[in-house]
Structure 1
């Protein structure tokens, strides 16, 4: 356990990470972006009001304002036997998505992916409270948000699902906006360790959702033309504690960060984290990094991650480059909550990600 003096320091550090009342619209009437950690999700982004400027401080063209905006949504679900991942990305001139099922016992991955040219069979709406994102084709995936409640529908040869992520307290959502590069911004909203209801069938076999836990990610904005990030996500039941974790580095660290711990549904904001690992060069039989070390300077986060499997994609197109790797694996180590209580993880299943993008 942490001593009383160290616990007092932790509490003092946490008081420095404060939320502010969420505005109804991210862009105010004067066209300025409102930055910070918010106590609620933001209903509308207000893209039409945003005064987007060039690097020479001149009004950007309508073409640039439209095509420089990016938005992506991701949902993960963990059941007793499977880990599921669903994603839809709208980078304006291209739409993409994926869906995978990881069999925990067999350590096998089934997946489908979508890649659609501009305006064809996909769509998103700029709201994390009321919107619909979809991508169609031989297989279909849609993510619908109604009053902050996330609903997912998917049909593939190996997976059929209609799911709802149950969010009972909107003030426990992590919602933040930070400046990006010279003239952009990124809004990110995430919530982990959510209960799941609905229907799920994998390879023709119905799955129960009694112990299922889920997390989501809504990210949007005028992101860097060339960007990268590292990310880790956990939704798990540890003895009598329901634990959620979101950790990231590379995108949202300009004055604020998106690192958060949920203990039995209660949000606790965290400080910056560092991801330490060695990338393995691409090859015909690519190996994952043996071990990741994810830690914070204040000692509240000290985790090791060992990959088991990976959903990856490499695209090298004219306007677009993407080197995407999302790993499924085990987390071990220690997390310290705001009361100084240590939460020990021993091979807890979760996700990590290493992504480079030029878009």
Structure 2
């Protein structure tokens, strides 16, 4: 028996979605605070075991009765060149010695326990499930629809958005090149330069709006209510913000990561494969400068290879070898409680909308 699906506007009071940030950032406290304030909070199941994901869902349900989402990483095909990974391991040997740690095992699975997580979400449905690094099979999305779970697929091109529509997703999350963290491309081209390419968010929203009928969630560099107004005017139904929520008190990001967002030592961001083997945007630091040009297209192998290094650098208080994921708007980060940030964004959006409405009225006077 099918359950009636809510619309995106019914899931959230304000068109503000907190991006799912893997690695412990999007913890239950953050998602709950956002949902309670009228936004849509998200848990990130990436890199977690199915049991750990379920425990976070249980924690979140104790903190809020409002809608929330869970984000899954799609399984990745093992196309990495083992020789290239071995060469990169040798290149990082000096880093391991410096930080007195071991380089990680790259032989682990590449499916991120996808089937196990699906089984839990089928058995105990949540309001929203989103997908990164690809599009699920039609059968997966149809099963979620029958359970009453709203589904979103991340896309970075018109073609990927069309794939999401054909597969039966309820919405598409468009990720512009400005976005922090991993680009949600459905396929990573090993020949592509990680530092170039991609489409700006406003252009992407406009292009997809003219070719896809799904509701659009816009993501990438958004830090202010005025920017949310801009993507809504371009055709989006809601905005998804990651970096803006990374610095909040409820975020599980490392304090060094939070401080780096507005630290004048970190002036710009770049896309790099240095930490994970897949293009991801972060603050430019020593590790990225020294190793980014040589990192192979090998995800998640490089992610596991560098995991110990990143933890050791954080323990040593050294942000120069941490993955400081950040969007292009990172200097606009505001250290507010998550609920207050939602309220401020909604107020800023309201002011801009009122201004646009009054200007429109003047034009017809």
- Return the structure number with greater strand share: 1
Both proteins in one fold, TM over 0.5: no
How would you bin the TM-score normalised by the shorter chain?
Answer: under 0.3
- Pick 1 or 2: higher relative contact order, CA cutoff 8 A, min separation 6: 2
TM-score norm. by structure 1 comes to 0.27
